[in-house]
Amino acid sequence: MSRKLSYREAMREAMHEALTGDPRVFLMGEDVGMYGGTYAFSKDFLGEFGPERIRDTPLSELGFVGAGIGAALGGMRPIVEVMTVNFSLLALDQIVNSAALYRHMSGGQFSVPLVIRMTTGAGRQLAAQHSHSLEGWYAHIPGIKVLAPATVEDARGMLAPALADPDPVVIFEHAGLFNMEDDLADDWTVDIRSAKVRRVGTDVAIITHGGSLPKVLAAAEQLAAAGIEAEVVDLRVLRPLDTATIMASVARCRRAVVVDEGWRSGSLAAEVMARIMENVFYELDAPVARVCSEEVPIPYAKHLEDAALPQAEKIVAAVKGLLG
């Protein structure tokens, strides 16, 4: 059996389950209470759980992320919502210099079981300061896990294991996915360790994550109509990367394209390409290609924003380029 659910509803359901099932769990962030969340993830939570567990915070990411770290060190299980990835830059010191380091610097005496959720990605005409895709920055940092749920199932299922993890977990939720609906099976299972093959193919492995997954799947359908069978790998977990799943897919298909909404320079795509070259270079029949955002601040105008981002047509062209 299954039921139809949107990405937004799945995440809201996951948080509701966590709040109901564990009194140590609480939600804090800007507008999560009275307003019900900027994207309605916490709608009606304040009335149900009260202000002690649904905490509106001041506009100070540095302050409330730090408070979340303190609460986690004190035995609580905070879910800290940062409105967008852009605003998380104001809390980088807390995330990178505190949360990620406590277990190592304390010799394992302390852990920070903290979940930080944030919206990422472009495609909604919110201009440069609200359209970053900085997942690769966080995937660079030892001491944290980085997740990018791109399906309704992952939106529903990744929060519980993230809260159970003794180390900080950062979850990137692409705003372009929030209204996406899909069937959620009653027997779903989700982990926060492995990548997942979303479509099986033989001619090219297309590796992606987050908001680019629907575009890659659309490109795969277009390629299939042209007789090219693409295998689609959803990274899902950006740190630590599931290298084994990536390499198995690339070795099987012998060609690879990496699709990443981040910019090319210093990107997560570059890391994936490097690992492919290190591990399965002699299995390749063509150089690895990538499709990333253009090296510009994301434009506001719709036609320019679309032109700056990876699109199905660009992915199809990259694959056909590999196949000659």
Residues annotated catalytic, as ranges: 61, 130
Locate 82 and state its tokens: 């940062």
* Contact (Cβ atoms closer than 8 angstroms) between residue 261 and residue 306: no
Compute the distance between CA of residue 114 and CA of residue 205 in angstroms, rounded to an integer. 34
Say how many Å lie between the first and final Cα of the chain, rounded.
44
How far is 262 from 275, CA to CA, in rounded Å?
A: 18
Host H or E run for residue 256: strand 256-263
Amino acid at 163: L
Cβ(81)–Cβ(55) under 8 Å? Answer: no
Contact 246, 272 (CB under 8 A): yes
Contact 195, 21 (CB under 8 A): no
How many residues are recorded in the chain? 324
Following DSSP, what letter does each residue of 286-300 receive, concatenated? S--EEEEE-SSPPPS
Return the beta strands (E) in 69-168 as ranges. Answer: 77-84, 115-120, 145-147
Alpha-carbon Rg for the chain, nearest whole angstrom, is 20
Separation between Cα atoms, residue 215 and residue 212, nearest integer Å: 5
How far is residue 253 from each of residues 149, 155, 173, 223, 303, measured CA to CA in Å? 25, 29, 29, 14, 34
